[in-house]
Structure 1
Amino acid sequence: MFRQIAAVVLAALAWPALAQMTPVGVWRTVDDKTGEVSSEVRISDNAGVLSGRIEKLLRKDARQDDVCDKCTDERKNKPVLGLEIIRGAKRSDGKEVWEGGKILDPDNGKDYTLRLTPIEDGKQLQVRGYIAFFYRTQTWTRVP
């Protein structure tokens, strides 16, 4: 009986650490060119498929009413605040990696093939976008 209780308690204590090794949550992004914090993105899980929306615009020069004028799909001229920029990522079999989706850069309107990898015990998220042989990688920080 004592062993069963101890196992349940230990599992309960370990759960928060395991739960953090996922992209789900709120992340602070950084502008590649300036190094300035640019936004907060909330990543959600819907039946194993991830999506992410811009929740806050944090750049000094950000206009809260900006629209995605360079987007080429149904997001064209939609407000950047609340814009879905991550779509369709799924967890890779047996790995702490989410792939197969797309990420939109609202600054240039381009969609990139996506790879998300939690690092630093889930405190940071490596976000890599690919177009053909070219890729761009950012490191986002989890918002506590």
Structure 2
Amino acid sequence: MLKNLLLATLASALFSTHVFAEDITGIWQQIDDKTGAAKSIIKIDKEANNTYTGKIVKVTPRPGYTPRATCNRCPAPYTNDPILGMEILKGLKYVEGTHNYEKGRVIDPLAGKIYDAKVRLNANGKRLTLRGYIGVSALGRSQTWIRLD
């Protein structure tokens, strides 16, 4: 009886870790793919329609860099929106049985461009790789985000 209880507890713990590792909701530190410096803090939430949305909750100060306050080269509806609080990631959908999320869109508020997006979460759920691209994924750029929560 005790052995069965221990096995059930262990199985439950393993399953809950697996579920956590597949979930991208939470607070993430965005790392600049060109400089390797911390860029901003993003909060990812799961929406009622089972897609994921990411919003900038803090712009990380960097030495020698004055952060832009607004998205001044961005297309509508983002034109002149404040970068802090901006929803930069939307529409990501989980691919069942994987650590992947696809069919999203990401905006780069510094360049004013919108890209297709996909995300790969690492096995322990502590890092994700966001790939932004136009048309073909091979022609895009990747960023690493580190889980903070």
TM-score by length of 1: 0.88
SS at match of 1:122: coil
Aligned to 1:56: 58
Aligned to 2:5: 5
Give, as a single letter, the amino acid of the residue that structure 2 aligns with 1:10.
L
Give, as a single letter, the amino acid of the residue that structure 1 aligns with 2:42.
V
Aligned to 1:73: 76
Percent of aligned pairs with the same residue? 32
Task: Extract structure 1 runs of 4+ deviating beyond 6 A.
Answer: none
CA distance in 2, matches of 1:20, 1:139: 16
Contact 2:105–2:116 (CA under 8 A) maintained in structure 1: yes
Aligned to 1:96: 99
Cα deviation for residue 53 of structure 1 reads 0.2
Contact 2:33–2:142 (CA under 8 A) maintained in structure 1: no
Give, as a single letter, the amino acid of the residue that structure 2 aligns with 1:49.
T
CA distance in 1, matches of 2:74, 2:4: 55
CA distance in 1, matches of 2:61, 2:73: 19
CA distance in 2, matches of 1:141, 1:51: 16
Q: How many aligned positions are there?
A: 143
Residues 95-136 of structure 1 show CA distances to partners (whole Å, capped at 9, x for unaligned) of 221101101111111111111110151111010011124211
CA distance in 2, matches of 1:3, 1:77: 62
CA distance in 1, matches of 2:92, 2:34: 26
Cα deviation for residue 7 of structure 1 reads 4.3
Aligned to 1:136: 141
Contact 1:89–1:102 (CA under 8 A) maintained in structure 2: yes
More strand by share: 1
Contact 1:116–1:128 (CA under 8 A) maintained in structure 2: yes
**5+ long unaligned stretches in structure 2:** none
TM-score by length of 2: 0.85
Give, as a single letter, the amino acid of the residue that structure 1 aligns with 2:9.
V
RMSD over aligned Cα, in angstroms?
1.9
**5+ long unaligned stretches in structure 1:** none
